[in-house]
Amino acid sequence: MKEKELTELSDQELLEQKKKSKSNKITSSVILGIMIGIAIYSTVKNGLGLFTFFPLLFIPIAKNNSKNNKALEAELKSRNL
């Protein structure tokens, strides 16, 4: 969390972050699915190329979001929310 550390947030702000993280998970999954679909289509249609490996660029972003979500869940659990 760049704005504030999780420990500095109030309970209400943490619950709002949890709602945002759910929508972020869905959005990330949809984007990754679309990119994988593009990669498969591009590979079948044109062989190996740029769009074949394009989804690999999204993996570090998704991994970072996953770490943030795990930290948020740990903080929520520690506060019994």
DSSP track, 6-72: GGGS-HHHHHHHHHHHHHHHHHHHHHHHHHHHHHHHHHHHH-SSHHHHGGGGGHHHHHHHHHHHHHH
Is residue 2 one of the residues assigned to a domain?
Answer: no
- Is residue 5 a part of any domain in this protein? no
Note the pLDDT of residue 4: 61
pLDDT of res. 37: 86
Instruction: State the total domains in the chain.
Output: 1
Task: Answer whether residue 7 is part of any domain.
Answer: no
**Which ranges of the chain have pLDDT less than 50?**
1-3
Tell me whether residue 48 is in a domain: yes
Domain residues for 17? 12-78
Is 55 a member of any domain? yes
